[in-house]
Structure 1
């Protein structure tokens, strides 16, 4: 198991990057019309706000800038989206097609608590801040080695 620990930072960075970019693509679709979809939806005010949160929050999370704030806001927005849009269609996310909202909500909640990680813009800009936790729960700084 200790042999895998050296891959934890890059794996977390890749996960944060992929999830953030996927989330941003939802906002890009709503706000910019890119990537194009066959049937574009019309958005009300809350939909536009959600689109901007997805676009900006997703990019911030992807690159690890203001990560905790972006993850907290994005997690809350996905919880609201689930209950306002999907929960009306039934209790179970698989039935009401809300599983992406639930997954994003909890991934962003995890990112909020875990932090940006060492491989992030937050870690580059503020190297003395706590960016992660080591395996025993103590604070880990950007330059610290396992």
Structure 2
């Protein structure tokens, strides 16, 4: 088998799977903040900074999940995770394993990757592109 052909066939599929799994994990943070599921000790005040973070996580995560407007949404979410890391995690400790910010860092860079790589397979963006004939 030709490795170039395997890469051409599978890279978009695996990218699509990465996008979907990252979005599902990301959405759980928003659903916890806004919907109380999974249950949490606190819920944010309506229109507070944490509430807006939850809104971006839930709604933006859904857009990433279905692959709609993937690049601009991923850009916003990457920035959100960078801000979340420096505001909420970094002041606790220099080390991400100690400050609880390792997930924020990973989400930041996965979303940044999606800005440049696009949605991959299994996306609304890809379906729209095919129907446009481009």
Whether TM-score is above 0.5 comes out as: yes
Structure 1 runs not aligned, ≥5 long: 130-140, 142-146
Structure 2 runs not aligned, ≥5 long: none
Corresponding residue for 2:78? 75
What's the C-alpha RMSD, in Å, of the aligned pairs?
A: 1.9
Paired with 2:118 and 2:65, the residues of 1 have a C-alpha distance of: 12
Alignment partner of 1:18 is 2:24 = no
Give the structure with the higher percent helix. 2
Q: Deviation per CA, 1:34-89, whole angstroms, max 9, x where unpaired? A: 2224x234457110000000001111111100101110010000000000000101
Q: What is the TM-score when the length of structure 1 is the normalising length?
A: 0.80
Conservation of the 8 A alpha-carbon contact between 2:119 and 2:126? yes
Higher RCO (CA < 8 A, seq sep 6+): 2
Corresponding residue for 1:40? 42
Q: Deviation per CA, 1:73-110, whole angstroms, max 9, x where unpaired? A: 10000000000000101212112111000000000000
Paired with 1:3 and 1:51, the residues of 2 have a C-alpha distance of: 41
Paired with 1:114 and 1:35, the residues of 2 have a C-alpha distance of: 31
Q: What is the TM-score when the length of structure 2 is the normalising length?
A: 0.87
Q: How many residues are paired up?
A: 129
